[in-house]
Amino acid sequence: MVKNGDPVLRMRAITKRFPGVLANDHIDFELKAGEVHGLLGENGAGKTTLMKILYGHLQPDSGEILIRGEKVEIAGPKEANELGIGMVHQHFMLVQNLTALENVVLGIPLERPPLLDLGPARAKFKQLTKEYELELDPNMPVWQLPVGDQQWLEILKLLFRDANILILDEPTAVLAPQQAEQLFRLIRRFAQEGRSIVFISHKLKEMKAVADRITVLRDGQVIGTVDAADAQPSQLAEMMVGRMVFLERRSRPPRESEQAVLEIKDLNCLNDRGLPALKDLNLTIRAGEIVGVAGVDGNGQRELAECISGLRKPTAGSIRICGQPIQDVVRDTSLLGFVPEDRHRTGLVLGFTVAENMVLKTFADPPFTRRGIIRWDEVHRHASKLMREYDVRAPDPMVLVSSLSGGNQQRVVVARELSGKPSMLVTSQPTRGLDVGSVESVHSVLLRERNRGAGVLFISTELSEVMALSDRIIVMYKGEIMGELEAEGADVNTIGELMLGHREVLESQVGGAQ
């Protein structure tokens, strides 16, 4: 019998590689009985991959897992369930057309096979929901349940199987604050019952509220494990976010123009789940400046970028580029360039060649099309030129872009978006998943554009590069701009506090920017 305090789970030297990215790099992770262990890190840090390995969805390339001191092979979720491991995934694993009860019993061997006898299961459902104070109707089809209830249902599934090791992946993403509180109370109760919980999140505040210990992951590696009680938010932020805490601040000529290239007024929009993502956002960017957007991922940055690039329709407010409304100019490469966060989905057509991707927006204009016919020689010449300029490493422009590495693919996108010398450039997480060399070149390019006179909106969760590259920094939290500061001489702790939503920190500072 495992006593409270003994490690119930040990993951040793877990390594997992995907094409182009090392998701888990020799990770050691330990979970004690009755403990709530937080797994903290940015998107892409490797937290979900690690837990998917634990739950059997993925197999590690190397490393081992020990449950209660014994080495185990977890071939799939079936074995994981048998070992008492349960997982609440980031995306709901609920069959919408089935009832709550049917979803819960899925995969659980019932009393009288092959009959689906739901009677005993229904009784157990009601008993558990009563015991844990969850209000759920077993007979309601899932598609009719509000999103918060669907989350409780996911947790109920784990209780039904009496899971001993519970993995919760970003469980508060769809919960209102009061519901999140209820969840934390539940988690603490589970821990008291002797269950062990792994709590994945990228939100510092939550971690501190619910976890006993916190392990921080970054770029597939364990940065450190700390006791939650002792950890400082800024310390955690630093562990989570900084590749190197201080990047050399780049020198630059002062901004000359006062002309506004981007004017956003009272912008409101919804995210994919239908919840408000941006609230009355106002922002002005002038020619020749880089405005960096700092903030923990998921606070509206993506939606902001999508609104500006025309991919998302705002519910209210206006966006103007060089005085013109956004809908009119979205495809005009001399006005707007956009390097999206998800280059595979929006930025590139993987089945096309490098050359074709270079002219994705401009293929119908001269000199690429003359008299209705595409001149491929012009296209290839243009592409070769851009490939040289932006150091895209590929044998020739006729190679399929899907065969390039991530860094080179990003360079293609950047090259294309900048080729029209746009007045306004929006880049969202441009260095995500890139090697050091590619990061360097992206930074140089952004600075060069700024010096040319473009306005640059630079969104990144890497605080160090935001601070190094920007002229001004705005911090986003829950769809609003918490504060705005001059990047020169900005204090990282102030920014950290703003990232956590503590607006007051600016008001208390002497000479804080408006």
Q: Which of 23, 487 has the CB closer to another protein?
A: 23
For another protein, the binding residues in 471-490 under the rule CB under 8 A are none
Shortest Å distance, C-beta 116 to another protein: 5
Q: How far is the CB of 86 from another protein (least distance, A)?
A: 10
Stretch that binds another protein, among 38-46, 101-109, 214-222, 490-498 (CB under 8 A): 101-109
Rounded Cα distance between 458 and 430, Å, is: 8
Residues 252 to 291: which contact another protein by CB under 8 A?
none
Q: Which two tokens stand for residue 231?
A: 């950890």
- SS3 label, residue 286: strand
Distance CA 28, CA 51 (A): 12
Near another protein in 423-462, by CB under 8 A:
435-438
Which residues in the 140-199 window bind another protein by CB under 8 A? none
Q: Which of residues 105-134 bind another protein (CB under 8 A)?
A: 105-110, 113-116
Q: Are 195 and 18 a contacting pair, CB within 8 Å?
A: no
Query: CB neighbours of 175 closer than 8 A, spacing ≥ 6?
Result: 148, 151, 183
Instruction: Identify which of residues 66 and 360 has a Cβ nearer to another protein in the complex.
Output: 360
Contact letters (x/-) for another protein, 61-100, by CB under 8 A? ---------------xxxxxx-----x-x-xxxxxxxx--
- Residue 60: cis peptide before it, omega within 30 degrees of 0: no
Residue from 24, 51, 103, 269 touching another protein (CB under 8 A): that is: 103
Matching residue, tokens 């039904």 = 160
Establish whether the linkage from the previous residue to 114 is cis, with ω within 30° of 0.
yes
Nearest distance, CB of residue 54 and another protein, angstroms: 13
To the nearest whole angstrom, how small is the minimum distance from the Cβ of residue 177 to another protein? Answer: 28
Q: Least Å distance between CB 155 and another protein?
A: 14
- Shortest distance in whole angstroms from residue 379 CB to another protein: 10
The DSSP-derived string for 368-418 is: TEETTEE-HHHHHHHHHHHHHHTT---S-TTSBGGGS-HHHHHHHHHHHHH
Which residue of 309, 410, 427, 428 would you call a contact of another protein, by CB under 8 A? 309
Q: What angle do CA 166, 167, 168 make, to 5 degrees?
A: 115
CB of 346 to another protein, least distance (A): 5
The position carrying tokens 């554009």 is 449
In the complex with another protein, the residue whose CB is nearer, 185 or 331, is 331
Binding mask 386-425 for another protein (x = CB under 8 A): -------x-----xx-xxxx-xx-----------------
Q: Is the dihedral of CA 418, 271, 478, 45 positive or negative?
A: negative
Binding string to another protein for residues 338 to 367, with x set by CB under 8 A, is what? x-x----xxxxxxxx---x---xx-xx---
The answer to whether 2 contacts another protein (rule: CB under 8 A) is no
Tell me the site size for another protein, rule CB under 8 A.
72
In contact, 264 and 310? CB cutoff 8 Å: no
- Identity (one letter) of the amino acid at 157? K
For another protein, the closer CB: 17 or 68: 17
The three-state DSSP-derived secondary structure of 303-339 is HHHHHHCCCCCCCEEEEEECCEEHHHHCCCCCCEEEE
Cβ-contact 28, 221 below 8 angstroms: no
Q: Do residues 37 and 199 lie in contact, with contact meaning Cβ atoms separated by under 8 Å?
A: yes
- In the complex with another protein, the residue whose CB is nearer, 79 or 480, is 79
Tokens matching residue 200? 């994945």
